[in-house]
Amino acid sequence: MSRAFTREDDERPEAPPERAISDQPNYMTQRGYEAMQRQLAVLQQRREVLMGSEALERESDLALVERDIRYYNARLASAIVVPPQSTAPEQVAFGTRVHFEDEKGNTHCYRIVGEDEALASADEQPEHTTRLLSWASPLARALMRSSVGDRVVWPRPSGNLEIEVTAIES
């Protein structure tokens, strides 16, 4: 009989796939680094709770938590924390907040941050606040080293868009 039709004695769920780690340098703002440390502490507490529980889902939940703990430990170990600029920035750089207007007259405001910080906050950012943008994104790369008044091209899948930098803040 084929093994496909037999029941295994071992009912343990498969281990979840590891979280992908970017091959880009792991730049972080101090705020992003501290947020990741807090999230790691939450995961470690969750692991302790799961290890003490008898729930049937414990093994799969525990596997996910342990996978995320490995990810956060690796990212914190490779972090390059970039200190904020001490003077008013003249050019867009990592950690700065940049305001710009597109060719349709729409205004935008983003803070350029690390990849994990941008991903973690994507669902948590209210519309009226500065949105976070990964330094490795096409938009951030287009804006880097530009100054107020500069026009740059934002490469987008739906077509390039010309934008003008209107303000830069620390």
Verify that 74 and 107 share a domain, yes or no: no
DSSP state of 95: T
Burial class (CB in 10 A: 0-12, 13-18, 19+), 45: exposed
**Confidence tier at 123 by pLDDT (50, 70, 90):** low
Taking the whole predicted model, whether its pTM rises above 0.75 is answered as yes
Taking only the tens place, the pLDDT of each residue in 69-94 is 999 999 999 999 999 888 889 999 99
In a domain, 13, yes or no: no
Taking only the tens place, the pLDDT of each residue in 127-163 is 546 799 999 999 999 999 999 999 999 999 999 999 9
Verify that 125 and 161 share a domain, yes or no: yes
Number of domains in the chain: 2
In a domain, 122, yes or no: yes
Look at the chain and count its residues. 170
Going from the C-alpha of 73 to that of each of 59, 63, 78, 116, 143, the distances in angstroms are: 21, 15, 9, 13, 31
In a domain, 1, yes or no: no
Residue 121, domain extent: 97-169
User: Using DSSP, how many helices (H) and how many strands (E) does the chain show?
Assistant: 4, 7
pLDDT, residue 58, reads 76
Taking only the tens place, the pLDDT of each residue in 2-54 is 555 554 555 656 788 999 999 999 999 999 999 999 999 999 999 998 888 77
